[in-house]
């Protein structure tokens, strides 16, 4: 019998270093760093004339948390899967035409319900969040509170998940935004 191998993972600091620099060697070296040490290294990186992506440290951490919450980036014992981080935050576009398309095509801008910055969703709130994205992808809640709550609980029941209280739905709505 073969022993299961640990997936190729990065620490949070290494994942943030990748998001900011898109340099694999730099990311691997930042693996054991503290936030302060990582900020110093990034400042040196930028002073050396190398470009940094627009994410600041907290914005990179928030982007990583959102991708984990969406299921785009998997975690293994607190670390992030390297291939998921690299896939979700790609190195460079394939061509200049692709860059132009990304800058001018607004149809690719995906809007939907998202957690507000600094708000963490509980498991039940996250289930409500997913249902809201499915039922009202355009962001328009055009029902009364009772009808909205009934629709949310009906969809949760169809998914074989437990129903939630109206208070849980209210808390979720306060912690999320559309855009």
| pLDDT, tens digit, 9 for 90 and up, residues 107-164 | 545 677 888 889 899 999 999 998 888 888 878 876 788 888 999 999 999 988 899 9
User: Does 19 share its domain with 75?
Assistant: yes
Q: Which domain holds residue 80?
A: 9-92
CA pair distance 84, 67, nearest whole angstrom: 9
* Count of structural domains within the chain: 2
Query: Nearest CA to 61 among 28, 39, 93?
Result: 39
Structure tokens at 62: 């928030």
pTM of the model as a whole: 0.42
Q: Give the chain's radius of gyration (CA, Å).
A: 20
User: Does 46 share its domain with 78?
Assistant: yes
Residue range 68-111, pLDDT digits in tens? 888 878 888 878 888 888 777 776 554 555 555 555 555 545 67
User: Does 13 share its domain with 88?
Assistant: yes
152, HSE (Cβ side, Cα atoms, 13 Å)? 29
Tell me whether residue 155 is in a domain: yes
User: Does 126 share its domain with 76?
Assistant: no
User: Does 38 share its domain with 79?
Assistant: yes
Tell me whether residue 50 is in a domain: yes
């Amino acid at each position: 019998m073969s022993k299961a191998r640990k997936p190729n993972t990065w620490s949070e600091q290494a994942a943030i270093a990748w998001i900011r620099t898109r340099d694999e060697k730099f990311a691997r070296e930042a693996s054991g760093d503290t936030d302060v040490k990582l900020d110093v290294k990034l400042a040196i990186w930028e002073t050396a004339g190398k470009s940094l992506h627009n994410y600041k440290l907290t914005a990179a951490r928030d982007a990583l948390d959102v991708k984990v919450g969406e299921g785009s980036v998997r975690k293994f014992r607190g670390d992030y899967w390297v291939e998921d981080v690299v896939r979700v935050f790609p190195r460079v576009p394939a061509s200049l035409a692709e860059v132009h398309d990304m800058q001018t095509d607004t149809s690719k801008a995906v809007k939907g319900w998202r957690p507000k910055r600094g708000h963490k969703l509980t498991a039940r709130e996250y289930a409500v969040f997913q249902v809201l994205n499915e039922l009202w992808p355009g962001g328009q809640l055009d029902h009364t509170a009772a009808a909205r709550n009934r629709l949310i609980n009906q969809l949760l029941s169809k998914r074989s998940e437990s129903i939630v209280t109206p208070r849980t739905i209210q808390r979720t709505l306060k912690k999320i935004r559309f855009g």
